[in-house]
Amino acid sequence: MKVIVAEHAGVCYGVERALRLADKAAEAGGPVATLGPLIHNPQAVAGLQAKGIAVAKTLGEVDGGTLIIRTHGVDPAVIGAAEARGLDVIDATCPFVRTAHKCAAELAAEGYAIVIVGESDHPEVEGILAHAGGSALIVQHAGDLPARLPARRVGVVVQTTQPPAVLADVVAALLPRVSELRVFNTICDATEKRQAAAATLADAVDVIVVVGGHNSGNTTRLAEICAGRNPRTHHVETAVELDEGWFLGAKVVGVTAGASTPDEQIQGVIEAIEALAGDA
């Protein structure tokens, strides 16, 4: 049984940067906490906790020391409140997410009715909404658009991990219904590359395993893309979840991973799959 890894898989620049900032903060000493999990990868977050970095659900849980803002970003008011409390704030917001924030703020300042393409309950979208002034229409698909739009001048910004096809569908649905449409394609390049590579790999293998947090939106989308092309798609966080029965009769197995999945986690799954092949 041969194992092939997607051309683009695993941690992106934004996640790598955030983990580096967190490690540096832990090495500096003193109380360190992240506001929510730094990234959507339970194993990586547990590793940070082992280094003394706590995970706070709210700002009120952080009494002092260093506060790290998660990669998904936050309402700018949260950073202001943290600094007002004397906390040393390290902003680990992904640079691509920060671009989405700036675009939303620009659209709001210019008076556009804003449509955010993304998941309403995702922390990244919540941050984009805050930068849009707290008023925006959030849709996950073109079909979510209301029968009556709030204005004829509409601006669009998109969650960085959304599939390009979803953004294209929303834009196509809006075009005939508005007098002016301004679109910021804030999907990150790393997301597009991982999704395209996953789709290509899913077509070429017997079984494909997607590695990453079950709570990770970008990893879940990779699994959805793969499942749409290959019914033998499986999403796991670690090698422990692998089932030998998944690989019966398989000659080629593909492995891809979300942008918040560290290399060692991917390698652990690959080695476990190879071990299963050796036992067969």
**What CATH number has the domain bearing residue 75?**
3.40.50.11270
pLDDT average, residue stretch 31-40:
96
Beta bridge partners of 4: 254
> Angle at which helices 13-28 and 42-50 pack, to 10 degrees?
20
Whether 83 and 46 share a structural domain = yes
Q: Which of 77, 94, 111 is the last residue of a domain?
A: 94
**pLDDT for residue 217:** 87
pLDDT in tens, 158-192: 999 999 999 999 999 999 999 999 999 999 999 89
Whether 248 and 177 share a structural domain = no
CA 10 remoteness from chain centre:
12
**pLDDT for residue 279:** 57
Whether 118 and 181 share a structural domain = yes
19 vs 229: CA distance, rounded Å: 33
pLDDT in tens, 70-95: 999 999 999 999 999 999 999 999 99
**83 Cβ partners below 8 Å, 6+ apart?**
89
Terminal CA-CA length for the chain:
9
Q: What are the structure tokens assigned to 214, written together? A: 């079950």
Q: How distant, in Å, are the alpha carbons of 37, 168, 258, 261, 269 from that of 265?
A: 18, 33, 11, 7, 7
Residue 18 has pLDDT above 70, yes or no: yes
Backbone region of residue 119 per phi and psi (left: phi > 0; alpha: psi in -120 to 50; beta: other values) = beta
Residue 278 has pLDDT above 80, yes or no: no
Whether 78 and 104 share a structural domain = no
Whether 194 and 275 share a structural domain = yes
Residue 280 has pLDDT above 60, yes or no: no
What total of structural domains would you count in the chain? 3
CATH of the domain at 231: 3.40.1010.20
Whether 160 and 183 share a structural domain = yes
Whether 32 and 85 share a structural domain = yes
Whether 207 and 249 share a structural domain = yes
Whether 183 and 224 share a structural domain = no
Q: Which residue type, as a one-letter code, is found at position 9?
A: A
Whether 90 and 144 share a structural domain = no
Q: Which of 165, 187, 209 is the last residue of a domain?
A: 187
Whether 164 and 229 share a structural domain = no
pLDDT in tens, 121-160: 999 999 999 999 999 999 999 999 999 999 999 999 999 9
| Residues with active-site annotation | 124
pTM, entire model: 0.88
Q: Which of 35, 62, 94 is the last residue of a domain?
A: 94
Give 60-65 contacts, CB < 8 A, sequence gap 24+.
Answer: 61/33, 62/31, 62/33, 62/35, 62/87, 63/31, 64/31, 65/30, 65/31, 65/32, 65/33
Question: Mean pLDDT over all residues of the chain?
Answer: 95
Range of the domain at 21: 13-94
pLDDT in tens, 200-210: 999 999 999 99
Whether 127 and 159 share a structural domain = yes
